[in-house]
Chains A and B, each alone.
Chain A
């Protein structure tokens, strides 16, 4: 057999077929996009162009340019009072995805269990499996706002449980934890001696209460790998740049792997990121205000047309239930695409507990959102009452 057992173990992505269907169709209104609809602000793009003109085309230090690590450190200090040493506690990564991969490889041994709240962002399960670990899914639902509790953590832990993935604000549900909620989770994480791998890429997009990084809570910094990046806050998805912050020993282990597999993040992206972190940039606030309006609009329309939807606290996703239609998530998404040319992501892309839900991204301009909901409403009213497909 040519293909390794590890690679074979990763389940094939059932969603791929649906994606190809979307990509092959013209004039689709897509509410299926997991990235901002803004382009990277011009000052950031211009800085990158200038760096190329100046001839910045070489490798950088494995950990990333020290200037950028210092900027990240200051940024986190200013924003959250977090203290990370730019020399030993910060690693610049190729997006949060690489940071996530490195985290697993640095801490997971064969047989170790990792708690993964579900629905979950697609990579968490497969990445755990690739390292020989075992993901333990904790199901959530709208009755609890798609959130886990300290009790859920306590119930799910045994001797082999090594860590937990947190992702808040969450892709795909948009759920986020308030300060007191995250404090309660931190208690359970400490009690069970877990390492928290916290993917906080959507931290700038919270609408109801300020974002509280779990690493800011007492006793958590030494057991947290804090992952973040530039993709969502600065509309820089294609630049592939993020950072991992954590205890020295873990960052050192992650750096060892990173230096052999990636060497360093492309220098142009690092230059751009340095510009993005300059204090006083207001573009994030403007972007957030716009998303907030779209969230209100989206949730209000969804509930109006009968797809009940809890109000997401952050990110740019809504996760409405379609259970009333009697359709499976994938069938709903396929029919909606065929009949009305609106693309959404079936909830099942994010784990089995996503069945009966859709992920709707409101990172689309208002005109598109308005039109999309007219079409979804028409689709729903064209269906026979209570009937299946």
Chain B
């Protein structure tokens, strides 16, 4: 199971037949395992990673990291506040953090104004939110293990012994 996941995490388009060859399994067994993981929610979905540093158009959006200080709720801790926040479609990611603040939220918007008004109108005034600090992302170099700047070309000779 784990090896199948590792292969799919690298390239989600690898077919069950190819995975079966790589792992010495039958194609049917691989398909079955993938189906099961999809059903159990281990595999959530398959997406394409787009390099927005290259493909930049009117549709492109800005991202900001927002540090949020929260007053935890009795019996609920941070859960109820986190839930109120992550349900906004503007929120791309939401993490509970150790350290000087509580929630780290990645917000995406059409432009700086859109993100700023989301923070000032939705996040900051929210009950139990004690304060926010907004950091806009200026440039992405690497995301989730993928380097976004340039494709490194192989420098190997085409043939060696």
* A→B interface (CB under 8 Å): 15, 19, 22-23, 28, 30, 32-35, 37, 39, 121-122, 171, 289, 293-294, 296-297, 300-301, 343, 345, 349, 366-367, 370
Contact = CB atoms under 8 A, between A and B. Distances in A.
B158 A22 contact: yes
B75 to A, nearest CB: 42
Contact of A293 (B23, B156, B158): B23
B56 to A, nearest CB: 26
B21 A296 contact: yes
A32 B159 contact: yes
Contacts of A39: 152, 155
A39 B157 CA distance: 13
A33 B155 CA distance: 12
B156 A37 contact: yes
B71 interface: no
A30 B159 contact: yes
B24 A366 contact: no
Which of B24, B155, B158 has the most chain A CB atoms inside 10 A of its CB?
Answer: B158
Contact of B156 (A35, A294, A297): A35
Nearest to A300: B21
Contacts of B21: 296-297, 300-301
B14 A343 contact: no
Contacts of A33: 156-160
B3 to A, nearest CB: 8
Interface residues of B, number: 19
Contacts of B152: 39
Contacts of B161: 15, 34, 121-122, 171, 345, 349
B141 to A, nearest CB: 14
A300 B6 CA distance: 20
A33 B3 CA distance: 26
A296 B23 contact: yes
A359 B24 CA distance: 22
Given A23-B159, A39-B152, 6 more contacts: A19-B159, A121-B161, A296-B21, A297-B21, A343-B158, A366-B18
Nearest to A286: B6
B159 A22 contact: yes
Contacts of B159: 19, 22-23, 30, 32-33, 343, 345
A19 B152 CA distance: 24
Contacts of A122: 161
Given A296-B21, A296-B24, A297-B22, A366 B158 contact: no
B107 to A, nearest CB: 31
Given A37-B154, A366-B11, A297 B160 contact: no
Given A37-B154, A296-B23, A366 B160 contact: no
Contacts of B6: 289
Interface in B103-158: 152, 154-158
Contacts of B158: 22-23, 28, 30, 32-33, 343
Contacts of B14: 366
Nearest to B159: A32
A234 to B, nearest CB: 15
B23 A32 contact: no
Contacts of A22: 158-159
Which 7 A-B residue pairs are closest in the complex by CB-CB distance?
A32-B159, A293-B22, A300-B21, A30-B158, A34-B160, A297-B21, A22-B159
